[in-house]
Amino acid sequence: MKTAIYPGTFDPFTLGHDDILKRALRVFDEITVLVAVSPAKKALFSKDQRVEMIQEHLKDEPRAKVDSWNGLIVEYAKKHQINAIVRGLRPTGDFEMEFQMASMNNNLYSEIDTFFLPTGGKHYFVSSSLVKELYKYGRNVEDFVPPAILSQLTNK
Protein backbone atom coordinates (compact mmCIF):
# COMPACT_ATOMS: atom_id res chain seq x y z
CA MET A 1 0.00 0.00 0.00
CA LYS A 2 1.39 3.42 -0.95
CA THR A 3 1.07 5.75 2.02
CA ALA A 4 2.10 9.36 2.59
CA ILE A 5 1.96 12.16 5.11
CA TYR A 6 0.57 15.56 4.20
CA PRO A 7 1.88 17.83 6.99
CA GLY A 8 0.99 21.43 7.68
CA THR A 9 -0.18 23.87 10.30
CA PHE A 10 -3.67 23.93 8.71
CA ASP A 11 -4.87 26.89 10.79
CA PRO A 12 -7.30 26.51 9.10
CA PHE A 13 -7.33 23.83 6.38
CA THR A 14 -8.29 25.54 3.11
CA LEU A 15 -9.63 24.48 -0.29
CA GLY A 16 -6.05 24.87 -1.50
CA HIS A 17 -4.95 22.18 0.95
CA ASP A 18 -7.96 20.08 -0.06
CA ASP A 19 -6.99 20.32 -3.73
CA ILE A 20 -3.47 19.04 -2.97
CA LEU A 21 -4.81 16.21 -0.79
CA LYS A 22 -7.42 15.00 -3.32
CA ARG A 23 -4.94 15.04 -6.18
CA ALA A 24 -2.34 13.20 -4.11
CA LEU A 25 -4.96 10.55 -3.26
CA ARG A 26 -5.01 9.66 -6.96
CA VAL A 27 -1.42 8.50 -6.55
CA PHE A 28 -1.24 7.30 -2.92
CA ASP A 29 -3.58 4.72 -1.40
CA GLU A 30 -3.72 6.39 2.00
CA ILE A 31 -2.65 9.82 3.19
CA THR A 32 -2.40 11.08 6.75
CA VAL A 33 -3.14 14.79 7.06
CA LEU A 34 -0.76 15.62 9.88
CA VAL A 35 -1.53 18.71 11.92
CA ALA A 36 1.94 19.81 12.96
CA VAL A 37 3.32 22.57 15.11
CA SER A 38 5.08 25.50 13.47
CA PRO A 39 6.91 27.11 16.41
CA ALA A 40 6.95 30.51 14.68
CA LYS A 41 3.14 30.65 14.31
CA LYS A 42 0.52 31.61 16.86
CA ALA A 43 -2.50 29.48 15.98
CA LEU A 44 -6.14 30.59 16.08
CA PHE A 45 -7.40 27.01 16.52
CA SER A 46 -5.93 24.50 18.98
CA LYS A 47 -4.29 21.38 17.54
CA ASP A 48 -7.27 19.25 18.63
CA GLN A 49 -9.76 21.68 17.09
CA ARG A 50 -7.86 21.58 13.80
CA VAL A 51 -7.85 17.76 13.83
CA GLU A 52 -11.61 17.65 14.54
CA MET A 53 -12.42 20.18 11.82
CA ILE A 54 -10.41 18.30 9.20
CA GLN A 55 -11.86 14.95 10.32
CA GLU A 56 -15.37 16.34 9.91
CA HIS A 57 -14.51 17.66 6.45
CA LEU A 58 -12.96 14.33 5.40
CA LYS A 59 -15.53 12.03 6.99
CA ASP A 60 -16.51 10.57 3.59
CA GLU A 61 -12.94 10.01 2.45
CA PRO A 62 -11.82 6.74 4.13
CA ARG A 63 -8.36 6.90 2.54
CA ALA A 64 -7.55 10.18 4.30
CA LYS A 65 -6.57 9.92 7.97
CA VAL A 66 -6.05 12.86 10.30
CA ASP A 67 -3.55 12.99 13.13
CA SER A 68 -1.42 15.52 15.00
CA TRP A 69 2.20 15.60 16.06
CA ASN A 70 4.39 17.81 18.21
CA GLY A 71 7.78 16.62 17.04
CA LEU A 72 9.73 16.32 13.82
CA ILE A 73 7.81 15.01 10.83
CA VAL A 74 10.51 12.42 10.15
CA GLU A 75 10.00 10.94 13.64
CA TYR A 76 6.31 10.46 12.91
CA ALA A 77 7.19 8.96 9.53
CA LYS A 78 9.63 6.47 11.07
CA LYS A 79 7.20 5.50 13.80
CA HIS A 80 4.45 4.79 11.27
CA GLN A 81 6.74 3.37 8.56
CA ILE A 82 5.74 5.98 6.01
CA ASN A 83 8.35 7.17 3.54
CA ALA A 84 6.60 9.86 1.51
CA ILE A 85 5.70 13.45 2.35
CA VAL A 86 3.29 15.39 0.12
CA ARG A 87 3.63 19.16 -0.16
CA GLY A 88 1.96 21.74 -2.37
CA LEU A 89 4.02 24.34 -4.19
CA ARG A 90 2.59 27.79 -4.87
CA PRO A 91 4.29 30.19 -7.29
CA THR A 92 4.52 32.71 -4.47
CA GLY A 93 7.94 31.91 -3.08
CA ASP A 94 7.41 28.42 -1.64
CA PHE A 95 10.19 26.72 -3.56
CA GLU A 96 13.33 27.72 -1.64
CA MET A 97 11.91 26.89 1.78
CA GLU A 98 10.31 23.68 0.55
CA PHE A 99 13.53 22.55 -1.10
CA GLN A 100 15.43 23.22 2.11
CA MET A 101 12.85 21.39 4.25
CA ALA A 102 12.70 18.39 1.89
CA SER A 103 16.50 18.17 1.88
CA MET A 104 16.73 18.42 5.66
CA ASN A 105 14.04 15.78 6.12
CA ASN A 106 15.86 13.47 3.73
CA ASN A 107 19.10 14.16 5.55
CA LEU A 108 17.47 13.27 8.89
CA TYR A 109 15.85 10.12 7.50
CA SER A 110 17.22 8.85 4.22
CA GLU A 111 14.17 6.63 3.62
CA ILE A 112 11.91 9.65 3.23
CA ASP A 113 11.20 11.65 0.09
CA THR A 114 9.01 14.66 -0.57
CA PHE A 115 6.57 14.75 -3.48
CA PHE A 116 5.53 18.20 -4.67
CA LEU A 117 2.30 19.06 -6.44
CA PRO A 118 1.79 22.46 -8.03
CA THR A 119 -1.06 24.22 -6.24
CA GLY A 120 -4.16 24.38 -8.45
CA GLY A 121 -4.74 27.58 -10.42
CA LYS A 122 -7.78 28.53 -8.35
CA HIS A 123 -5.83 28.42 -5.08
CA TYR A 124 -2.29 29.60 -5.70
CA PHE A 125 -2.88 32.89 -3.88
CA VAL A 126 -4.68 31.41 -0.84
CA SER A 127 -3.09 31.08 2.58
CA SER A 128 -4.54 30.35 6.01
CA SER A 129 -3.50 33.78 7.31
CA LEU A 130 -5.21 35.60 4.43
CA VAL A 131 -8.40 33.61 5.01
CA LYS A 132 -8.35 34.56 8.71
CA GLU A 133 -7.69 38.19 7.84
CA LEU A 134 -10.53 38.40 5.30
CA TYR A 135 -12.85 36.74 7.77
CA LYS A 136 -11.84 39.15 10.53
CA TYR A 137 -12.82 42.05 8.27
CA GLY A 138 -16.23 40.53 7.60
CA ARG A 139 -15.61 39.11 4.14
CA ASN A 140 -17.21 35.88 2.94
CA VAL A 141 -14.50 33.19 2.73
CA GLU A 142 -16.65 30.33 1.41
CA ASP A 143 -14.64 30.27 -1.82
CA PHE A 144 -11.50 29.45 0.16
CA VAL A 145 -12.44 26.96 2.92
CA PRO A 146 -14.56 23.78 2.99
CA PRO A 147 -18.04 24.11 4.63
CA ALA A 148 -17.01 22.16 7.77
CA ILE A 149 -14.20 24.65 8.36
CA LEU A 150 -16.36 27.68 7.56
CA SER A 151 -18.84 26.75 10.29
CA GLN A 152 -16.04 26.55 12.88
CA LEU A 153 -14.66 29.92 11.78
CA THR A 154 -18.12 31.32 12.34
CA ASN A 155 -18.07 29.95 15.91
CA LYS A 156 -14.77 31.72 16.54
Catalytic residues: 17, 41, 90, 128
Interface stretch with ligand COA, choices 13-21, 23-31, 44-52, 59-67 (CB under 6 A)? 13-21
Indicate the burial class of 106 (C-beta count within 10 angstroms; 0-12, 13-18, 19 or more).
middle
Task: Report the site for ligand COA in 37-76 (rule: CB under 6 A).
Answer: 38, 72-73
Long-range Cβ contact pairs of 90-93 (< 8 A, separation 24 or more):
90/16, 90/119, 90/123, 90/124, 90/125, 91/118, 91/119, 91/124, 92/124, 92/125
Indicate the burial class of 66 (C-beta count within 10 angstroms; 0-12, 13-18, 19 or more).
buried
Interface stretch with ligand COA, choices 10-18, 25-33, 47-55, 57-65 (CB under 6 A)? 10-18
Supply the minimum distance, in Å, between the C-beta of residue 20 and ligand COA: 5
Interface stretch with ligand COA, choices 3-11, 25-33, 48-56, 146-154 (CB under 6 A)? 3-11
Site size toward ligand COA, by CB under 6 A: 23
Which residue of 8, 53, 65, 152 would you call a contact of ligand COA, by CB under 6 A?
8
